[in-house]
Amino acid sequence: MYMDHAQLNPRSHLDDSPSSSVFDLPVQPVNPSPQPLATGGSSNNSDLRPRTSAQITDTPESSPNITVISGGSGGNAICSAFDDACFVLPVSDDGGSSSEIIRVLGGPSIGDIRSRLVRMIPPVPPNSPLGAVRTLLSYRLPANVSEREAREEWRDIIEGHSPLWSGIPSDRKETIRGFLVYFENEVLKRAHKNFSFLNGSIGNYFISGAQTFFRSLPSAIFLFASITNSQANILPVIVTNHTVTIAAELENGTRLVGQCEISHPVNPSSSIEEDGPEMDAFSPVDGMGETIPHRSNVMYSQMDKDRGYEPLQAKIYRLYYINAYGHEVHPMPNPDFIKTIATSEALVYSCGSLWTSIIPCLALRGVASGIARSSLLQAKILLLNGKNDRETDGYTAVDYVKAIVGVLNSDYQKPSYGLGNASTVYPISAFITHLVWLEGTLIEVDVMALMALGVKSVMVRGSVEGNADQGPRYDADVVRRVLAHILEN
């Protein structure tokens, strides 16, 4: 099925009420007047304002509830396409400044969540109070300087002297600074691990400090959203205070540990501390509690991705979670994730890394039955990437569908001892009803084969930026319109 822009009923946004509560999901009713495709939705010019419980309102019925499963960068460009959405994100990324936080402090990865929270801050002028907060929380310490210089800039920030604090109201400033100081305190307790501030994300440090203080990642997300007036509804797929690690088993039996090793490996000698720093003979750290090594401050940019990739030795056979000792575990998903699926009208598997962003949100107990048995889900939509990557080299559209369905039909229960351990195998249409793909995609799409699997295919025109070898990309308007078309039909 081919869909041009003219065939899609355009939907546009109305400005949210400036008094809408931070507790609400985005409230953006349908406007019957068409909008140009170049526009990406309305601009919410609300700034830092006091909010009260009396301002909480119900979401209008005209805006469908959507659950979006996505990673960080892969889904950020189109997140404005979803009027009333709950974003479910993995907590297993071990790259970027998250890798350094995990190495020293442990805990779940918060990089993808911070990226989405920053993206969902309402658009305002940069010189406004909220614009200043956005600038601070999206700021990264320099990567091409000495460690001492990075530490000096960090010290200026936590002491409140940095120009980054300019324009931020004192109540927000002291709240943010308090959790940054708490983060610093936790790092100092582990001074023997030599935390590196190079390329460090201030937003990551703030969320990590709040998560450590509250012992709750959802609480840290709520605090970030409250301070930034964000109406984002973001759920970590697993609620835990422990480090979350994924591993992939290839078809040739090779095991790859960690998202970086699976998706974009870097030089091990520069990113993994095998022996750690030389310790003093009288150090209180005895080394008896060491577990699998974690990567140290992995710096990986979009430019690195655009340079291409080295294919895996074999295709990925399965993905699973492991604990700190390298043993396979079967964690429970965030209960709110399962509840959200049960009340949603549409489920979207977003574009992005299939095996390290989407599938970590599916390879959990109870997710398959939650999707297959939901009586309200009208559509289960896969947004096919514009091209393959290291994880999916050589994949066709059918391979993407079968990979997702294969994971969801796998048994992620604890071993059962006794009778009654039969597992249910669901049909493909129980998990995917529609596949949306881009005109000019570099991935083979066999419409007839998809139809034979019970999956409807819809082609849309995206945008091509730079080199055509990078493949076409989705934009928010295209995604908004195709979702409206699917749900209306």
Q: What percent of the chain has pLDDT over 90?
A: 66
Residue 97, pLDDT score: 84
In this predicted structure, the answer to whether residue 296 has a pLDDT above a threshold of 50 is yes
Whether the pLDDT of residue 3 is over 90: the answer is no
pLDDT given at position 489: 83
> Could you read off the pLDDT of 132-185 as tens digits, one per residue?
999 999 999 999 999 999 999 999 999 999 999 999 999 999 999 999 999 999
Q: What is the pLDDT of residue 284?
A: 45
As a whole number, mean pLDDT of residues 212-237 equals 94
How does the average pLDDT of the chain come out, rounded?
82
Sorting pLDDT into bands at 50, 70 and 90, what band is 346?
A: very high
For range 219-231, the mean pLDDT? 94
Find which of 2-16, 293-307, 355-369 is predicted with most confidence, using mean pLDDT. 355-369
Render pLDDT for 42-73 as a digit per residue (tens, 0 to 9).
334 444 444 333 333 343 445 679 999 998 77
The tens digit of pLDDT for each residue in 27-45 reads 333 333 333 333 333 334 4
Secondary structure of the chain in the HEC alphabet?
CECCHHHCCCCCCCCCCCCCCCCCCCCCCCCCCCCCCCCCCCCCCCCCCCCCHHHCCCCCCCCCCEEEECCCHHHHCCHHHCCCEEEEECCCCCCHHHHHHHHHHCCCCCHHHHHHHHHCCCCCCCCCHHHHHHHHHCCECCCCCCHHHHHHHHHHHHCCCCHHHCCCCHHHHHHHHHHHHHHHHHHHHCHHHCCCCCCCEHHHHHHHHHHHHHCCHHHHHHHHHHHCCCCCEEEECCCCCCCCEEEEEECCCCEEECHHHHHCCCCHHHHECCCCCCCCCCCCCCCCCCCCCCECCECCCHHHHHCCCCCCCCCEEEEEEECCCCCEECCCCCHHHHHHHHHCCEEEECCCCHHHHHHHHCCCCCHHHHHHCCCCCCEEEEECCCCCCHHHCCCCHHHHHHHHHHHHCCCCCCCCCCCCCCCCCCCHHHCCCEEEEECCCCCCCCHHHHHHCCCEEEEECCECCCCHHHCCECCHHHHHHHHHHHHHC
Q: What is the pLDDT of residues 108-136, one digit of tens each?
A: 999 999 999 999 999 999 899 999 999 99
Query: pLDDT band at 411, cuts 50/70/90?
Result: confident
Q: In this predicted model, which residue has the larger pLDDT, 407 or 276?
A: 407
The mean per-residue pLDDT over the stretch 300-316 comes to 74
Answer yes or no: are the C-beta atoms of 164 and 139 closer than 8 Å: yes
- The pLDDT value recorded for residue 24 is 35
Angle at the Cα of 253 from the Cα atoms of 91 and 237, rounded to 5 degrees: 15
| Surface-to-core class of residue 476, CB atoms within 10 Å of its CB (0-12 exposed, 13-18 middle, 19+ buried) | middle
Q: Indicate the pLDDT class of residue 83, thresholds 50, 70 and 90.
A: confident
- pLDDT exceeds cutoff 60 at 459: yes
- In the predicted structure, residue 330 carries a pLDDT above the cut 90: yes
Residue 278, pLDDT > 70, answer no
In the predicted structure, residue 12 carries a pLDDT above the cut 50: no
Tell me, what's the pLDDT at 135?
97
